[in-house]
Structure 1
C-alpha cells in the first residue's frame, strides 16, 4: 500500500498580510525588567550585533554515568545524592498582548504534525551565526543558552532553561519571549530538588503549548510538573511527580515532554511508586489539563532498562486514536490516549528507546543505537505496520536495517523518502515503501542529538558539535547541500530547529538564535492537519474508567468519582449511569463519593466501579497530618503508602527486633530516595535510628529528606552533609563526622522556613546516649524549597542500611 507523504489533507491559506501585522504588533512589545527581590530574570535584551558571549558550560559534559541509570552522554557517577530545590514559581511582569493564532504556530517541539515538517515558505537559504548586516540573524539571546527545543504560540516563544546559572541561586525556568524581538515578557522560576541531574542538563524536556487554552505545560528535570498561564506566567496547577508518584530523575538527565490530547495532558517517566507500582516501569500519567486530576495511570513492562526521552506521537492508526512512543523497556508501543489501554508493541532493543516515532499514514518508523533483541549488532531503523494488535514484532515489521545507529535524532519523511540522521551525524536516505537505501550517506558532523526540520523545500539540520547545513532533497543524489557552516565559540546543539512565521529558531549552548531573511515574505500554502480518527457510532462499552485514578487524602477527607465508558476504539461513550461503587480499605462509599475513615493512617484503599460485566479501579492513599511515628515490629514490609520504598527495602529482624533494611541486591536501586506522604508539608523535624553494615571494607551513605533537602551521613567520606543539588552543590554544607559500622546512631534533621529562607539543622549521636544540646551542622538556602514530603535517602551500593524508630513531628 502506498504511503502518503503527510498523513493529512492540506488546505490552501495565505498569511503574508498576517505576517506584516505580526511584525507591527511585535515592535510594540517591550521586555519586562527584573524583579529585584527574585533576581531571576536575565537582562531581557536580545543581541543584534556580531558580538557573542558563549562560555556556556553545556558544551562540556561528564564522561561516565552512575550505576543507577546510564546517561545519554556517559558521565561519571556522582559521589552523592542529587539536589533539592524549591517549588515556588515566580512569574515576571507581563507587557504586551498576544496576537491571535493564525495556524502556523509551533506548539509542540516536533511541529504541528509531530513529524518535523512545517508548511511555511519564504525561509532562509543561508545565514551567518556571527551576526551583523546580511547575516539573516534577527536577534540572539546569549543569556538563554541551553538544550531544550522552544515552542511558539500567539506571537510568543516559550522554552525551558537554566536560571541564574553557576550560582548559589541556580534553578530552572520557563521563559516567555516576544517571538519577533526576543525581549523577555515573563519568567517562571522554580527549584530543582532531590534529583541527580547536573546543572548542564537542566532544561532537558521541552515545553508544550495548548492552543485551546493558551496554557503552557512544563516538566522540570527533577519532576516538577506545571500548567502555566501562557499570558501571565502564573502557575495554574503543579505537582512534584517524583514525590507524589515516584518519577525517577537520574544523572543522565533524560526527561520526557508532555503531550496534549483532548482534555488531557499526558507525561511519562520511569516510575517507582507504591503498592502494585512499587517496581520500576515506564509509566504514563494522564492529567485533566485544566485541573491536574489524574485521569489514568498505566505503563509498559516492569523493570525497564533505561530512562528515555522518546516523545509520544499523537495520531490515528487505522482510524483509531493512538499514542505511539519508544519505551524504556526497548519496545515501540501504541496505546489508546484516552484510556491508557495497550494497542500493540514492537520489541526493538534490549535498552530504552529515545527516538520519537515518525508516523506516516498507518506506518511507524523508529530507530535506536543500542543492542538489538537478537544477535550482537548495535543499532537499527525499522518500519512497522501500525494497524496491528498485541505483539507485532514478527507479524508487522515491513523492513528493518541493523547497524544503523539512529538513537537520538528523530527522522523526517519527504515524499516517498525518509531521512535518518544517525548518532554520528551521518544521513541515511531510504525509500519508504521498499526500504532501499538511496544514494550515499552524507556527513553533517561527528555527533547528532537534535532532529532535522523540513520546511520551504529544504532540510535544516544542526549537529551536536556545531556543524549546521541546509539541504535540498534531490531525486538523483538524495540530498544537495545549499549552505553550511559552524556555530561560533565551540557552541553545541542538543535541541532541534523550529520555524514559525518565517523565523527559524535555534537553541544552542551559546544562546537562542532567531534567523529570518528580511528580503523574503513567509507564507503558508498548505496547512498541516492532524490525522483524524474514524467516526464511530459504536456504543458498546469495552472499557470502564474511574476518575481520579490515583488520589492522596487525609483521614476524613472525601473524594468524588466519575465513572466513564469507552468503546473498543477508546472513544468516549459517556458516563456509566447506574454504576455501582465499592471500596476495599479504610472508608465507605456514598453514591459516587468515597469517604475515608477518620482514624485511617498510612493505609491504602481501592475504589472499584462496576457496570454490567465491566469494572475499573482507582487507588487511594490515606496519610494523616503530623506527627508520624514508625517502628516495624508489627510490619512485614514498609508502609504501603511510601513511594519508592517497598521494592528497594525489606523488613527483617535486626538486633532482636524488626527494622527496615535497604538491600544491596537491586543494582539500579541501591542508591535511591523514597517519600512518605504529602508534598505540602513544611517546618518539621524528621528523626530515625540508623545503622550501616560494612562490606568489602566500605560503608553506605544513610540519609533523611525533608522539605526538599537531604541530610546525608556519608560512610566513605566520614562526614555529615546538608544539600539541595549534589552535582551543583549550590548551598551544600558539610562537617566531618566519624562513624562506624554495626553501631546504631540517631539522626535528626530539622527543616524550616524563616524570614523567606530555608534554615536547616542537623545532629547525630549514638543511640541510647544523651542528645547533644547543640546542632552539629546548619545550612541556609536563600532561594528555599518551601514545602515537600518527608522521606529517606540511601546509597547501599556497598553495604546494607538499617532504619528504625522513624518520627516526623511539627517544629515547636
Structure 2
C-alpha cells in the first residue's frame, strides 16, 4: 500500500497535557487542550451545537461565505481547536493555539481516483498537509468514495480515519503516520458498492470501528462486528459480534456508537447491518443487549432521551409488511429468555413507535423534547420524544440521502442531496425556512459547527460560512459518570488476535478491564492452548510461550490457527483469580504458493462428491469455497 503525501507544516501542534480516564467518557469537569467538533456527530454526540451568532442567510461569494476548498467529498469535516500551551512533548516548547480542519474527500477519475485526507487552516482554508490513498481490492464504485469522516482524539490531538478500502490509520497533528491496520487483509472486512464507511469513534484509550467481516474460526461467518484498537499503538484490544446473521443481515452499516453509562459500566448504543439496535460494553466488547426491529441495515445513529434509545430505519419491518420505523427503546427493557446468545429485548421494551417515518442513513437530532428527522421522501419531521407522535412535517426536497441535520443557535442547518442547504427555525408548531442556498455539488455529509463557523462538504467542495466569532465555545458534554472498578475474573491480553510467521514471536500486554497493565511477574501468568467446546474445527497453534511469556512460533511451524487461555495465578494457592483469551494464526512467510495436491477430500457433499474445506487460517474462506476434483 502506497502512502502518498504532501506536507505544508504549521508550527503549533503537539501532545495534550491533560488526560481523561482510560475508558471513561469526559464529564463536565474535564479539561483538555484539544477541543472542537472532533467527531461527525459533534461534542454532544447528537448533532447539536451551543454556538451562537450563526448566519440566518448565506450568499455564495458574499460576506459570510468565508472560503471554499476544492475537494469532492461525501462526509463531514471535523474541527480541532488546539489551545495555547499545546506542546510537542512534556518538555517541549509551548506553542500558540489555533483551529485546524480535517477533511476527507477524493479527486481524480476512474483508475486515477484517490481518496484524500487534508488538513486546512480554519481561518484561510489553506492546505497545511494532505495524504492521498489509492483504492485496492475493493468493490466500491467510482461515485461512492469518502462516505465517512476523520475523528480527532481530544487527549492527543491525533487523527483517526478508516479509508473506503479499509485502511485504519492513526496520524499525529502534523500528518505523520503513527500506525496502520488493513482491516480487509487482517480481519476480513468486506467492502460493498455503496461505499458506506463511516467514522472511527474514540472512547478513552480505544479507537472503535464498525465493519461487516468474514474472518476465521468463530468469526468466519459474515457478521456486523465492532473492533476496538489501542489508539496509541494500533493493537487490537477486543472484537465484538453483538448481532445476528442471515436472513436479517442484508446490508452494511455505518451507524456511529453513542457512548453513555449503563448500570455502572461504560457502554455504547449503535445500529447494525442485521436490523438491531445493540448495547455493548466499551471496555470489553461484551454485548449487553440487542433489539431486533428491522431486516437489513440500521445505518442511522441513535439519540438518547431520558431512559430510552431513539432509532430509525428504512428497511423491512419484522412484524408487518411495511418499510421503515422510528422507535424508542427502554435501556432496561424485559428480555426474551427463549432466544439464545446475547440478551434480547422483547417487544415490551418498546416505549413507542412511529410507522409513518422511514430513513436509510440520515440520523435524527434531539433538542429538548423534540426529535428532528429528515425522511427518505425529503421531509423534515418533528417528533415528540415522549410519545413518538409527529408534531409537524415540512417538505424540503424530492428525497434525501445520508446527510443529517445539525441544530445550533435555534436553527437547523440541513444539507439536501439535490436541493442545497436549508436554514430553518423550528418551533413546536412548525418550521420557518430562513434561507435555501444552492451549493455546487450534491450534499451527502452533515454540517459541522464550531467557533462561529458552519462547514458543509459537497461532492465538489468544502464550504466555510460564518460571521464574527463569539465565545466561549461549548463546554464538554455533561455525562453523569458512575463509579467504576475493573471487572473481577477477566483479563484482557493485547493484542487479542495475532498473526505470526514460522520462527517469529509475539509479546502481549495483559490488562484489566480498566485498560491498566497488570505489571505482575510472568511466573504468575499461566498460558495454555485452548480449544472451545463450541469449535467445529479442533485446532491448535504450532507455537508455545517461552519462560519470558513470549509466544514463539516453531521455526518450521506449520500453517495453523487456534487460541490460548491465560490464568493469573495466586502465589501459594491453587487455581487462578483471572482468565483471559487470545486467538491467532501462524502462516508461511511470503512468497507463498499452493497447488492443493496435499488436500485430503474427507467430506461429502449432498450429491456424494468428496471435497475438502480451505485451511482454517485462511480468512473469509471456509464458508465460501471448497476444494474438489472435477471429472
Taking structure 1 as the reference length, what is the TM-score of the superposition?
0.65
1:157 corresponds to 2:101: yes
Q: Mapping of 1:139-538 within 5 angstroms?
A: 139-141=67-69, 143-154=70-81, 155-163=99-107, 165-166=108-109, 168-230=111-173, 232-299=174-241, 300-303=243-246, 304-388=249-333, 390-438=343-391, 440-448=392-400, 449-475=402-428, 477-481=429-433, 483-488=434-439, 491-517=441-467, 520-524=468-472, 527-536=475-484, 538=485
Label 1:415 to 1:103 Cα distance change in 2 as closer, same or farther (>3 A): farther
CA deviations on 1:98-137 (whole Å, 9 max, x unpaired) are 4997775100000011110111111111102x313x4x10
SS of 1:193's partner is coil
Aligned to 1:716: none
CA gap of 1:103–1:573, structure 2 versus 1, over 3 A, is closer
Q: 1:268, 1:413 → 2: CA distance? A: 23
Partner of 2:3: 88
For residues 610-646 of structure 1, the C-alpha deviation after alignment (integer angstroms, 9 at most, x for no partner) is 3437533211111122343422433432122212211
Partner of 2:91: none
Q: Is the 8 A contact 1:399 1:434 kept in 2?
A: yes
**Alignment gaps of 5+ in structure 2:** 17-31, 82-98, 336-342, 530-539, 569-575, 601-611
Aligned equivalent of 1:619: 583
2 CA distance for matches of 1:542 and 1:372?
Answer: 40
* Contact 1:336–1:343 (CA under 8 A) maintained in structure 2: yes
Q: Is the 8 A contact 1:450 1:463 kept in 2?
A: yes
Map of 2:566 onto structure 1: 609
Distance 1:256 1:272 in 2: 19
Measure how far apart 1:459 and its partner are.
Answer: 1.3
| 1:563 is the counterpart of 2:510 | yes
Q: Check whether the contact 1:89–1:234 (CA below 8 A) recurs between aligned residues.
A: no
CA contact 1:162–1:173 (8 Å) conserved in 2: yes
1:590 maps to 546
Contact kept? 1:542, 1:565, Cα under 8 Å = no
Match of 1:115 in 2: 46
Matches within 5 A, 1:712-723: none
Shift of 1:207: 0.6
Please say if residues 494 and 508 of structure 1, whose CA atoms lie closer than 8 Å, have aligned partners that are also in contact. yes
Offset at residue 199 of structure 1 (A): 2.3
CA displacement at 1:450 relative to structure 2: 0.6
Does 1:544 find its partner at 2:497?
no
How far apart are the structure 1 equivalents of 2:413 and 2:472? 18
User: Residue 598 of structure 2 is aligned with which of 628, 633, 638?
Assistant: 633
Q: Secondary structure at the match of 2:274?
A: coil
User: Offset of 1:522 from its aligned partner?
Assistant: 2.0
Q: Which residue of the partner structure matches residue 90 of structure 2?
A: none
Counterpart CA distance in 1 for 2:357 and 2:122 is: 37
Aligned to 1:735: none
Partner of 1:652: 628
Structure 1 residues 667-682: aligned runs within 5 Å? none
| Of 131, 142, 149, the match for 2:61 | 131
C-alpha displacement of 1:423: 1.4
In the alignment, what sits opposite 1:692?
none
- In structure 1, the residue matched to 2:340 is none
CA shift in 2, pair 1:395/1:579, >3 Å: farther
Matched residue, 1:659: none
Q: Distance in 1 between matches of 2:309 and 2:113?
A: 40
Q: Are 1:318 and 1:362, in contact at CA under 8 Å, matched by a contact in 2? A: no
SS of the residue corresponding to residue 143 of structure 2 reads: helix
The answer to whether the 8 A contact 1:428-1:441 is kept is: yes
Deviations 1:303-342 (A, max 9, x none): 4211111111122234431111100111000101111000
Q: CA deviation at 1:171?
A: 1.2
- Superposition pairs for residues 687-726 of structure 1, below 5 Å? none
Q: Secondary structure at the match of 1:200?
A: coil
Contact 1:228 1:236 in 2 (8 A): yes
Partner SS, residue 218 of structure 2: helix
Question: How big is the shift at 1:363?
Answer: 1.9
Question: Per-residue deviation at 1:574?
Answer: 6.3
* Structure of larger gyration radius: 1
Contact conserved, 2:274 with 2:297, CA < 8 A, in 1?
Answer: yes
Query: For the residues of structure 1 that align with 2:181 and 2:292, how far apart are their CA atoms?
Result: 32
Whether the aligned pair in 2 keeps the contact of 1:621 and 1:641 (CA below 8 Å) is yes
**2-structure distance, mates of 1:602, 1:205:** 37
CA distance in 2, matches of 1:525, 1:294: 35
Deviation at 1:496, TM superposition (A): 0.3
Measured against aligned partners, the alpha-carbon deviations of 1:24-59 in whole angstroms (never above 9, x if no partner) come to xxxxxxxxxxxxxxxxxxxxxxxxxxxxxxxxxxxx
Structure 2 CA distance, aligned partners of 1:651 and 1:525?
62
Partner residue, 1:665: none
Equivalent position SS for 1:276: helix
Provide, for residues 167-186 of structure 1, a one-character-per-residue CA deviation record: whole Å limited to 9, x for no partner: 65321111111111100110
Tell me, yes or no, if the aligned pair for 2:116 and 2:132 is still in contact at 8 Å: yes
Q: 1:243 aligns to what SS in structure 2?
A: helix
**Which residue in the other structure is 2:500 paired with?**
553
| Poorly superposed stretches of 4+, deviation over 6 Å | 99-103
Shift of 1:573: 7.6
Q: Deviations over 1:226-265 (max 9, x none)?
A: 11112x2121111211111111111111113111111111
Residue 651 of structure 1 aligns to a residue whose secondary structure is: coil
Indicate conservation of the 8 Å contact 2:448/2:456, yes or no. yes
- Provide the aligned length of Structure 1 versus Structure 2: 553
1:393 positional shift: 3.4
C-alpha displacement at 1:287, in angstroms? 0.8
| Worse overlay, 291-300 or 604-613 | 604-613
Residue 581 in structure 1 maps to residue 581 in structure 2: no
Is contact 2:565–2:580 with CA below 8 Å preserved after alignment? yes
Paired residue for 1:792?
Answer: none
- Let me know the Cα RMSD of the aligned residues: 2.2
Query: In structure 1, what is the equivalent of residue 28 of structure 2?
Result: none
Q: Distance in 1 between matches of 2:460 and 2:180?
A: 30
Structure 2: distance between partners of 1:573 and 1:195: 37
Whether the aligned pair in 2 keeps the contact of 1:272 and 1:643 (CA below 8 Å) is: yes
